[in-house]
Amino acid sequence: MRLELGLHHIKDVRFATRTEIDSDVLSISRSELAAHLAQEPLFERVEIELTHPGESCRILRVLDVVEPRYRLNGFNFPGALDPNGLVGEGETRALKNVAVVETDSFATQSRSIIDMNGPAAAYSPLCNTHNIVLVAHPKLGADKDDYRLAMKKAGLKTATYLAAAAQNVTPSKRQSFELPPVAANQGPKHLPRIAYIFPMHSHQHPTQQSEPVFYGSNIQGFMPTIVHPNEILDGALMFSYSAFTWFAQNHPVIHELYRRHGRDLWFAGVVLTIAPVTIAEKERNTALAARLAKEVLNADGVIATKIGGGAVDTDLMMIYTRAEEMGMKATLIIMERYPDTGITFVPANVNALVTPGLTRDPITLPAVERIIGGDTIALDNADPDNSNPGVTLIPANHELNLWIGDIAGAISQVGASRLTTYMS
Amino acid sequence: MIPVAKEVGSLRAIASGGIVSPTGNPELSPEKEKEFRRELILKALKTLQEEV
Amino acid sequence: MKKIRVVHYLNQFFAQIGGEDKADVCPEIRDGIVGPGRALQQALGENGEVVATAFCGDNYFAERQEEAIDELIRRMAEYRPDLFIAGPAFESGRYGSACGAICDAVQRRLKIAVVAGMDEDNVGADIHRKRIYIVNSGPTIARMTPTLQRMAALGIKLARHESIGKPQDEGYLVRGIKRNEFATKPPAERAVDMLLAKLRGETFHSEIAPPKFADSKPAPPLRELKSAVIALVTDGGLVPEGNPDKIEPGRPTRFTTIPISGVTSLDPEKYDAVHSGYDTAIANRDPNRLVPLDAMRELEREGTIGKLHEFVHSTGGAHAAVENATRIGKEIASQLKIAGVTGVILTST
């Protein structure tokens, strides 16, 4: 199965009368896009803002970030936007250097931000893209969970709408992703077969009933299964929380395995799974996932990442242990949260961990001239004796003491960052 | 989270009803859920009497 | 750039007052430099000025720590310092502890940069290394000048709010605080490299060290349940409605004690679950799913257990710092022990 991405390296984005791409400049008809999004009954009013790398601008309450993509064969974000259908093959256009940023008007306690300049820009690719920001004011009485799903859908609509402008324009570059069926795809004997075990959600924060995560499914009770990596890259997966969709479309581990496929490894495939909430289900899912990698994908080694909170460190350690018991070698990418220990625990048998960074590492971000998506940000009261735990709302355009993990895209649990950690 | 508990030295640990309802199971009817809870607690009490 | 105003702290010996015989001298402060302050001033160069030197007898400080700190800070504040340098104390335990304690207090109360110096095995280092920067002086006084140079360099950076490098580069003791740094390769590439090295049988280095937890021995088993006093404890964040003790949804520093005398079941109108690490909706609808009070009361009534303890101790365990979790656990355990509790069921989310 072969997916060809036609890449458009966009140099600039601006509002104009018509939506089109010419000489690598993306023009957007604000009124047409706004009318398109205003059809959502839960939105009272939709604002579409544009901000460029280098601007003194801060985006607040980032809900999700999506790269504009358009599949020439249809089924854009099947089950979530378009009706269901399969993705991962054929030709898809992608607008590079551009991102659609969804903000959540209900999330007044959110610390997730994007700064378009200043120290944050060194950490996250999302601070360096031309960002089309959606701010939708909810109708009176709108349920915050329904609104959240509506906003996620609006982001997908916008991403598809913008990339559709590329369909009759020649791409700057083409990138192809091809992996034939496993049975026909054992590779040369000297290259180790590497599989990726990918928990995409942790139900410690359950998905909503009508929430589309994988091919439109709410993935409750999801059992480990084999998927084609192209499906992750081509719009089958929208993370519920804990990671941005942008990092599924630009999945760092899948990209790396493809990059080295045939050179120093053979990409054996992807096992998609979830982290459930009882220990019995965790044991079942992790064992099954490792089994699929070993007995169906015939992997020699596995890489696994995690998604979710501290509870999922358990699942990841189990995947590692089961994999090695079955005779494979394992390496985990696991995000650190705690300045004292990093992660919750490391069993004695686990000796191969990679860190994409520590979220709770303080950083001071300077005051900015412009803010999008709200006026205030909720910061922890920093009383030394913690006598008044909770948050205080402060004006978001001020200098802020945040954590590096608050910068959207600085550390993604699926293994994207520019960082490593050390003990100071 | 039993593996975490055992790793840090808390050896008397039994499986709960899950992260979001340690001593419950919302899928059961109220009567069955009470039974489930009672059985779980009895098991916990038994564990307190075991040598580790 | 503005000159950094520095106050230097010494004990009675380095302040040239006397030896052990003068270990009782009370806290004092003098204008300008004293003794090793000369080397400190040289190390500061044009960047800073030692405007005052404070000192105190090691015994006086050990016996009247609170008073001594109050007095020293009161006097120091008059000099409007930007930076406080204490020591180096080398191997001297009382002096090292004093340096650490005063630095800690000055940092908190005057909110200025502080640097202490002492040997890594000094008892003061163990206690204070996490909250203040301590330059490793080694045990011998022969290292006075190079140590003060390191302390000055680090102090200048701190006073100017510049970013601080790694322990081995700046010369301070590892504090046990993780930081990020930019990497030469992205994590996915490092993970594949590590896995391939592992498959080839080559050496590799895991990037996250296993956290160390204090050893604890399990208690001997309960002899019989009929006479046992059982307490319920939870880290799932059970609180009375309104969370009057303001239990934190994450990074807990304390716990709450909920009286349950006469309560036979947890009423969802009267109790809540506060915790950032899991969806509390199900527990909120029936808090007995988090703390099994109704089941325990039944067993108490039937005589299966002797007695259900009259309090439920609760905290919210999300992202707990190990130090705080350990302290909370010890405090709860101590209260339970005093109350005669013999067994605990802890429900965890």
- Could you please report the per-residue DSSP string of B4-49? HHHHTT-------S-TT-TT--TTS-HHHHHHHHHHHHHHHHHHHT
Q: Do the Cβ atoms of B26 and C285 come within 8 Å?
A: yes
Q: What angle do CA A173, A176, A181 make, to 5 degrees?
A: 175
Q: Is the pLDDT of residue A63 over 90?
A: yes
Q: What is the mean pLDDT of residues A77-88?
A: 96
Q: What is the pLDDT of residues A317-364, one digit of tens each?
A: 999 999 999 999 999 999 999 888 888 788 889 999 999 999 999 999
Q: What is the pLDDT of residues A289-310, one digit of tens each?
A: 999 999 999 999 999 999 988 7
ipTM: 0.95
Residue A208: what are its φ and ψ, rounded to 5°? -75, 155
pLDDT score at A382: 58
Q: What is the pLDDT of residues A214-232, one digit of tens each?
A: 999 999 999 999 999 999 9
Beta strands per DSSP E along C34-175: 48-56, 83-86, 113-118, 133-136
By three-state DSSP, how is residue C324 classified? helix
Q: Is the pLDDT of residue A395 over 80?
A: yes
Q: Do the Cβ atoms of B19 and A314 come within 8 Å?
A: no
A184 confidence band (pLDDT: 50, 70, 90): confident
Q: Is the pLDDT of residue A380 over 80?
A: no
pLDDT score at A384: 45
pLDDT score at A357: 97
**CB proximity A184 to B under 8 Å:** no
Which of C218, C234, C296 is facing B41, going by the closest CB pair? C296
Greatest Cα pair distance, chain C, in angstroms, is 80
Q: Which letter does DSSP use for residue C306 in this model?
A: S
**CB proximity C191 to A under 8 Å:** yes
Q: Do the Cβ atoms of B49 and C218 come within 8 Å?
A: no
Q: Is the pLDDT of residue A385 over 60?
A: no
CB within 8 Å of chain B, chain C residues 175-214: 213
The residue written with tokens 């280095």 in the block is C205
What residues have CB less than 8 Å from C287, skipping those under 6 apart?
Answer: C238, C266, C267, C268, C271, C272, C273, C293
Q: How many CB pairs under 8 A join A and C?
A: 182
What residues have CB less than 8 Å from A270, skipping those under 6 apart?
Answer: A195, A196, A197, A198, A226, A227, A228, A229, A232, A254
Q: Is the pLDDT of residue B9 over 60?
A: yes
Q: What percent of chain A is predicted at pLDDT more than 70?
A: 98
**CB proximity A388 to C under 8 Å:** yes
Backbone angle region of A401, left / alpha / beta, with phi > 0 → left and psi within -120 to 50 → alpha = beta
pLDDT score at C169: 95
Which chain C residues touch A339 with a CB distance below 8 Å? Answer: 177-179, 321
- Element spanning A44, H or E: strand A43-51
Residue A265: what are its φ and ψ, rounded to 5°? -155, 170
Output A97 or A309, whichever has higher pLDDT: A97
What residues have CB less than 8 Å from A238, skipping those under 6 apart?
Answer: A64, A77, A80, A152, A156, A212, A213, A245, A248
Output A374 or C213, whichever has higher pLDDT: A374
Q: Is the pLDDT of residue B47 over 80?
A: yes
Token pair in block for residue C297 = 């009361």
pLDDT score at A191: 97
Q: What is the pLDDT of residues C291-324, one digit of tens each?
A: 999 999 999 999 999 999 999 999 988 777 777 8
> Which parts of chain C sit beneath pLDDT 50?
none
B19 confidence band (pLDDT: 50, 70, 90): confident
How far is C53 from C151, CA to CA, in rounded Å?
Answer: 16
Q: Is the pLDDT of residue A381 over 70?
A: no
Preceding amide of C88 cis, omega within 30: yes
A410 confidence band (pLDDT: 50, 70, 90): very high
pLDDT score at A383: 52
How far is C92 from C73, CA to CA, in rounded Å?
Answer: 22
pLDDT score at A389: 62
